[in-house]
Structure 1
Amino acid sequence: MKPEKIQAELNRLGAQGWELVNFAFSGPMGPAMLVLKKPQ
């Protein structure tokens, strides 16, 4: 994904109340794991 698309998706999730709390990359071209939370 392009950085602009990732930013747009994170902004969309943020508008729904989700918060990015952590992330991990497996390598420069590898997948990323994003950890989000949403208050109940």
Structure 2
Amino acid sequence: MGLRLLFKDVEEYVYIIFDIRKYDSTIMFVVQLNYTKVFY
């Protein structure tokens, strides 16, 4: 039971990390878009 709970926590943690990474790349994409808009 305790081990299963641990795995569930790790799974949620991994999902959060992937969400943040996805969010990060989206922000970088928007920033790059605005960056190129300024120069062209």
TM-score for both structures, normalised by structure 1: 0.40
Structure 1 or 2: larger helix share?
Answer: 2
Structure 1 or 2: larger strand share?
Answer: 1
Higher relative contact order (CA 8 A, sep 6+): 1
Q: Which has more radius of gyration?
A: 2
TM-score for both structures, normalised by structure 2: 0.40
